[in-house]
């Protein structure tokens, strides 16, 4: 314990205890007075040691919003919590696969199992997750509409699938189906061919996609090309398929980057909003690594109220993993991050 922390702890000692411990110069220095003096001093030392063992800190850079219950230390920026045991998740993640309802909260089974048997002296380290479905139609990343990226990827995937089917089975170019498509087009699923052959719409769309793919890869005379120079036609089809495959995965990567970036920004926005709501309710909350954590007792969670009726609906609570909150997993890291000052009396 540093000198500064020791002084801070001493600042919390009842002045009466210090006064009682001071020597009385008006009295004689007999054995009885010596015993009283050193007994009181020993009590002070024990009190300081007791306080130091129960003081936990949060670093100045990660000081959480504590609402009405926090007691910030103006010197260090830390928050002192002389009470409670902090409950973290089992590192194995057992009990995180399904959700149960408790007092209006959606919570993972591992948290539920702990909280129903808890007393109000225990503090739960909880990760708060909001599961709102993101609407990408009006979402932009670097000036590009994400929905337009999704549409472009869908169109490319249709061509990519058709090219793969054609590359795996180029003999389809000389099939009866291609003759039907070439001669009758959409009539194949509306009125049918003159010989009575009629397709379903989905069957027609499948062969139409392969037909268009062949026309794009080889040109309009693809059937003649395949008949006259089958090896050359197959090589062109394979190259067309390879180019489409690369284009598809490039677009997929671009879309995923845009989605992740937008989701990260969206989560940062919702975490900040929820941080304020928890803080207004007097619950200790902090954001770390783009995740929202609350440190709360069973009673605080049960009595939590907000003006937003839908607030709890979109949230899921789970016990936080200690190694995720403290990535370095060292005592130094833990001592530099705070636990809350929660009233458990």
- Backbone φ and ψ for 215, nearest 5 degrees, come out as -65, -35
CA-CA distance, 165 to 159, in Å (whole number)? 10
Domain-ending residue, one of 208, 229, 259: 259
Closest to 209 (Cα-Cα) out of 230, 184, 178: 178
Kindly state whether residues 159 and 255 are assigned to the same domain: yes
Kindly state whether residues 48 and 150 are assigned to the same domain: no
Contacts of residue 106, Cβ cutoff 8 Å, sequence gap at least 6? 99, 100, 312, 313, 315, 316, 317
Does residue 274 sit within a domain? no
Kindly state whether residues 145 and 48 are assigned to the same domain: no
Q: What global pTM score does this model have? A: 0.55
SS3 assignment, position 88: coil
pLDDT of residue 36: 46
Does residue 306 sit within a domain? no
- pLDDT confidence tier of residue 265, bands split at 50, 70 and 90: confident
Kindly state whether residues 45 and 151 are assigned to the same domain: no
Q: Render pLDDT for 63-119 as a digit per residue (tens, 0 to 9).
A: 333 333 333 333 333 333 444 578 888 777 666 678 999 998 999 988 999 999 888
Q: Render pLDDT for 176-187 as a digit per residue (tens, 0 to 9).
A: 998 898 899 999
Does residue 46 sit within a domain? yes
Does residue 31 sit within a domain? yes
Does residue 107 sit within a domain? no
Domain-ending residue, one of 54, 70, 87: 54
Largest CA distance in the chain: 128
Using CB atoms within 10 Å of the CB of residue 311, give its burial: 0 to 12 exposed, 13 to 18 middle, 19+ buried.
middle
Does residue 282 sit within a domain? no
Q: What's the CA dihedral at 262, 144, 152, 243 to 10 degrees?
A: -100
Give the range of the structural domain holding residue 177, as residue numbers without chain letter.
140-259
Domain-ending residue, one of 259, 286, 316: 259
Asked if the model's pLDDT at residue 121 lies above 80, the reply is: no
pLDDT of residue 322: 83
* Number of domain units in the chain: 2
Kindly state whether residues 254 and 159 are assigned to the same domain: yes
pLDDT of residue 201: 94
pLDDT of residue 262: 85
Does residue 341 sit within a domain? no
88 or 156: which leads in pLDDT: 156
Does residue 155 sit within a domain? yes
């Amino acid at each position: 314990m540093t000198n500064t922390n020791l002084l801070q702890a001493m600042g919390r000692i009842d002045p009466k205890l210090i006064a009682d411990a001071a020597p009385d110069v008006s009295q004689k220095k007999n054995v009885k007075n010596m015993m009283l003096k050193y007994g009181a001093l020993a009590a002070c030392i024990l009190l300081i040691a007791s306080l130091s063992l129960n003081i936990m800190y949060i670093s100045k850079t990660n000081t959480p919003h504590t609402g009405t219950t926090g007691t910030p230390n103006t010197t260090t920026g830390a928050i002192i919590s002389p009470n409670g045991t902090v409950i973290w998740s089992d590192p194995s993640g057992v009990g995180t696969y399904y959700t149960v309802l408790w007092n209006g909260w959606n919570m993972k089974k591992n948290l539920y199992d702990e909280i129903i048997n808890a007393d109000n002296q225990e503090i739960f380290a909880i990760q708060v997750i909001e599961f709102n479905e993101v609407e990408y139609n009006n979402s932009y990343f670097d000036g590009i509409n994400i929905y337009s990226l999704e549409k472009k990827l869908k169109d490319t995937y249709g061509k990519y699938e058709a090219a793969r089917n054609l590359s795996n089975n180029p003999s389809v170019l000389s099939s009866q189906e291609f003759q039907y498509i070439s001669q009758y087009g959409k009539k194949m699923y509306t009125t049918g061919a003159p010989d009575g052959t009629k397709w379903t719409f989905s069957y027609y769309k499948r062969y139409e996609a392969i037909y268009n793919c062949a026309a794009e890869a080889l040109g309009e005379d693809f059937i003649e090309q395949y008949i006259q120079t089958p090896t050359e036609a197959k090589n062109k089809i394979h190259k067309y398929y390879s180019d489409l495959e690369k284009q598809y995965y490039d677009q997929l990567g671009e879309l995923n980057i845009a989605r992740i970036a937008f989701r990260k920004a969206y989560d940062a926005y919702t975490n900040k909003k929820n941080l304020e709501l928890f803080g207004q309710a007097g619950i200790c909350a902090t954001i770390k690594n783009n995740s929202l954590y609350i440190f709360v007792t069973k009673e605080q969670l049960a009595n939590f109220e907000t003006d937003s009726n839908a607030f709890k609906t979109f949230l899921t609570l789970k016990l936080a993993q200690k190694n995720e909150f403290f990535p370095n997993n060292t005592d130094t890291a833990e001592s530099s991050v705070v636990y809350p000052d929660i009233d458990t009396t």
